[in-house]
Amino acid sequence: MYHIPVLLNESIEGLNIKPDGVYVDVTFGGGGHSRRIMESLGKEGRLYAFDQDEDAAENIIDDDRFTFIQENFRYMKNFVQLYCGGKVDGILADLGVSSYQFDTAEKGFSIRYNGRLDMRMDKNASVDAASVVNTYDVGSLARLFSRYGELKNSMNIANAIVMHREMNRIETTDELKEAVARLLPKGSENKVLAQIFQALRIEVNEEMKVLEIFLKQCADVLKPGGRLVVLSYHSLEDRLVKNFMKTGNADGILEKDFFGNQLTPYKLVNSKPIVPADEEILHNNRARSAKLRIAERRDK
Q: In this model, does residue 268 exceed pLDDT 50?
A: yes
Burial class (CB in 10 A: 0-12, 13-18, 19+), 41: buried
pLDDT computed for residue 2 by the predictor? 52
Is the pLDDT at 1 greater than 60, yes or no?
A: no
Averaged pLDDT for residues 131-147: 98
- Of residues 264 and 261, more confidently modeled: 264
Looking at residue 105, its pLDDT comes to: 45
188-246 tens-digit pLDDT:
999 999 999 999 999 999 999 999 999 999 999 999 999 999 999 999 999 999 999 99
Amino acid (1-letter code) at residue 270: N
In the chain, the amino acid numbered 96 is G
Is the predicted pLDDT of residue 100 greater than 50, yes or no? no
Q: Give me the chain's average pLDDT, please.
A: 92
Position 286 scores a pLDDT of: 82
Asked which of 190-199, 244-253, 279-288 is least confident by mean pLDDT, the reply is 279-288
Q: Return the pLDDT at 102.
A: 46
| pLDDT, position 53 | 84
Question: How would residue 87 be classed by pLDDT, with cut points 50, 70 and 90?
Answer: very high
Identify the pLDDT of residue 3: 61
pLDDT in tens, 8-39: 999 999 999 999 999 999 999 999 999 999 99
Average pLDDT rounded to a whole number, residues 251-278: 91
- At 106 the pLDDT is 52
